[in-house]
Amino acid sequence: MAEKEIHTEDKIIEAAREVFIEKGMVGARMQEIADKAGINKSLLHYYFRSKEKLFDAILSQVIGGIGSMFGLMMHEDVNIENKLKLFINTYIEVFQKNPFLPNFILNEINRNPDGIMVLFAKAKIEPKKFFDPLDKQLKAEGYSIHPQDFMINILSMTIFPVAIKPILEQLLFEGDEKQSGSYLISQKESVLTFMMNALSGYKI
């Protein structure tokens, strides 16, 4: 692909990401994405024939990044606490940059679970390759918790606040987006502390 085409495609994806964040999947319009990217709608359709294909491209990028993070975390030669810290910090940052992602994945899981699993496979997110070494390390450090339970607890605490951010913003911070954003950042330390305290109950 020519350098100009790569640049145009990157501009489209970045513009689409901004529109999806602001309007969501349903509210986003191809014309608005084209306008934000500074191109005409025909050129947008040349690169991406539909809004769904454009969203799939963005989703593939993000899930690919998640796959890389899984690999990084598992290959870091550090203890469970530091792996937890790396995981929590990275995930919260990813969801802050892509606030549409949790709800979109949940919707896609209900609408097309096979499609999501295909994207995970392309990103080389293979549960067995993750859970087996995690289980081994938990046992080596004296914890009796199952790795599946361990991961579900972390994912729940990192994904849920982002997924319901609009509600939290109104209920807890009177619509103050800045305070809401600061709260999500503070969750990094809070979730780590909570998880380490919870793990102490599984110490053999």
Per-residue pLDDT reduced to its tens digit, 90-138: 878 877 777 777 777 777 777 778 877 887 777 777 777 788 888 999 9
**Looking at the structure, do residues 126 and 152 belong to the same domain, yes or no?**
yes
Average pLDDT over all residues of the chain: 84
**Looking at the structure, do residues 1 and 85 belong to the same domain, yes or no?**
no
Q: What gap in Å lies between CA 101 and CA 20, rounded to an integer?
A: 10
**Looking at the structure, do residues 91 and 138 belong to the same domain, yes or no?**
yes
* Tally of domains in the chain: 2
**Looking at the structure, do residues 31 and 70 belong to the same domain, yes or no?**
no
Q: Count helices and strands (H / E) in the chain.
A: 11, 0
What is the pLDDT, as a whole number, of residue 42? 94
Per-residue burial over 6-30, b = 16 or more CB atoms within 10 Å of its CB, e = otherwise:
eebeeebbebbbebbeeeeeeebeb
Counting residues of the chain whose pLDDT is more than 90, the rounded percentage is 30
**Looking at the structure, do residues 21 and 75 belong to the same domain, yes or no?**
no
pTM of the full structure: 0.71
Q: Which domain holds residue 33?
A: 1-49
CB 39 within 8 A of CB 8: yes
| Alpha carbon of residue 87 to chain centroid | 11
The CATH number assigned to the domain holding 189 equals 1.10.357.10
- Cβ neighbors of 36 (< 8 A, separation 6 or more) are 15, 18, 19
The helix/strand/coil state of 143 is strand
pLDDT digits (tens, 9 = 90+) for 61-90: 777 777 777 676 667 788 999 988 888 888
Q: What gap in Å lies between CA 90 and CA 78, rounded to an integer?
A: 16
Counting residues of the chain whose pLDDT is more than 70, the rounded percentage is 93
Residue 4 has pLDDT above 80, yes or no: no
